[in-house]
Amino acid sequence: MNQPRLRFGVIGCAEIAERRTIPGLLAHPEIDLVAVASRQADKAGRFAQRFGCAAVQGYDHLLEDADISAVYIPLPAMLHAEWVERALLAGKHVLVEKPLGSSHFQAVELTELARGKGLVLLENMMFLRHSRHRRVAELLADGAIGALRGLTSTFTIPPKPPDDIRYQPTGGGALLDIGCYPARAAMYFLGPDLTVDGSVLRYDRSREVVLSGAVLLTNSAGVIAHLDFGLEHSYRSDYELSGSTGRLTVERAFTPPPTFSPTVRIHRQSGTEEIVLPPEDQFLGMLDFFVDAVRGAADPSPSVDETVGLARLLDTIALRAHTVYTRHGPYSDPGFA
């Protein structure tokens, strides 16, 4: 028997919602986009006209709509916890952009609230839904590079305009917005129990926002991970796994477009092997998982536990960080120090 389509509302008219998420919701065969909410009526109207749904002024008004059973929340990072809680209390399933909250404490509270109400709450760490990372894990398990010795991962993006939300305290800064990706990759390949051996966070002195950072981690087996991230660099999105007999590299690891054909490269003494995989839309993969979880066809508990573990890791990175300050933000002259 066919089940009814999942009826979605979107809380906030963020760039990622316009560029990736709402087109993904519209493309999914088991989802109906009902409404988009904004605090500004004209912004909600523009989105609604473009995407063929209702416009709602005010996030609370969207949550009052009994016709909506699930919401997607792409608000600035520091607003996630408030609106995830409100959505859960309104009886809605929730897909929220990373991070789920601004702290481990918030992540625990929200996931316990969702479990208590029998609702699905998932953080949109969508790169994990791309099958190439499972393929990499299989190669490691098969001994493609021998015994695993280390991981390095980098996610950096060029400076945005000065008024970009990432440079505001409500945006969460580089650690929560960008650093979560390589940190989550380290958990994926090295396991959830990671020790923070050192971290450096570079702040914009004028705004008290993290612009970039570096982290050193180890797991219980002594495998080392080195992570770099930031909002003030040329674009990089990759990871490399080093082993006793070779190394494995993955480029455009975290935000590939749906048309991108990923290549996994295995470098050995004898040469380089390339494994080219078909294009894949990782956001549609995330939506598939969310829909299955709502319908009881998939268990979201492991993903929820990993989200809480990531929040704990990010808290520890911030707590143990050595802090350095810039004199100017990344939007000033290229020679800033």
- pLDDT tens digit sequence for 24-66: 899 999 999 999 999 999 999 999 999 999 999 999 999 999 9
* Active-site residue set: 98
User: What average pLDDT score do residues 62-82 get?
Assistant: 95
Token pair 């993903």 is at which residue?
A: 303
pLDDT band for position 165 (cuts 50, 70, 90): confident
pLDDT band for position 329 (cuts 50, 70, 90): low
- CA dist., res. 111 & res. 84, Å (int): 10
Higher pLDDT, 292 or 13: 292
pLDDT of residue 4: 86
Q: Which residues pair with 214 in a beta bridge?
A: 200, 228
Asked if the model's pLDDT at residue 229 lies above 90, the reply is yes
Q: Is 279 buried (19+), middle (13-18) or exposed (0-12) by CB count in 10 A?
A: exposed
- pLDDT tens digit sequence for 270-295: 999 999 999 999 999 999 999 999 99
pLDDT of residue 18: 86
pLDDT of residue 330: 56
Paired tokens of 163? 């008024």
CB-CB contact of 64 with 77 (8 Å) = no
For 227, residues 6+ apart whose C-beta sits below 8 A from its C-beta are: 152, 153, 154, 179, 182, 183, 186, 214, 215, 216, 217
pLDDT band for position 176 (cuts 50, 70, 90): very high
User: What average pLDDT score do residues 294-302 get?
Assistant: 96
- CA dist., res. 152 & res. 120, Å (int): 33
Residues in the chain: 337
User: What average pLDDT score do residues 180-205 get?
Assistant: 96
pLDDT band for position 334 (cuts 50, 70, 90): very low
- pLDDT tens digit sequence for 102-160: 999 999 999 999 999 999 999 999 999 999 999 999 999 999 999 999 999 999 999 88
CB-CB contact of 329 with 174 (8 Å) = no
pLDDT of residue 14: 85
CB-CB contact of 114 with 94 (8 Å) = yes
For 257, residues 6+ apart whose C-beta sits below 8 A from its C-beta are: none
Residue of 325, 310, 316, 290 lying closest to 92 (CA atoms): 290
Half-sphere exposure of residue 67: CA atoms within 13 angstroms, side-chain side: 9
| Alpha-carbon dihedral sign for residues 108, 223, 270, 153 | positive
Q: Is 154 buried (19+), middle (13-18) or exposed (0-12) by CB count in 10 A?
A: buried
For 105, residues 6+ apart whose C-beta sits below 8 A from its C-beta are: none
- CA dist., res. 307 & res. 288, Å (int): 18
Asked if the model's pLDDT at residue 252 lies above 90, the reply is yes
| Alpha-carbon dihedral sign for residues 15, 20, 21, 25 | positive
Q: Which residues pair with 70 in a beta bridge?
A: 8, 93
Q: Which helix (H) or strand (E) holds 295?
A: none
Quote the mean pLDDT of the chain. 93
pLDDT of residue 135: 97
- CA dist., res. 227 & res. 47, Å (int): 37
pLDDT of residue 278: 96
For 86, residues 6+ apart whose C-beta sits below 8 A from its C-beta are: 59, 60, 63
pLDDT band for position 336 (cuts 50, 70, 90): very low
Asked if the model's pLDDT at residue 1 lies above 90, the reply is no
Higher pLDDT, 95 or 16: 95
- CA dist., res. 289 & res. 53, Å (int): 23
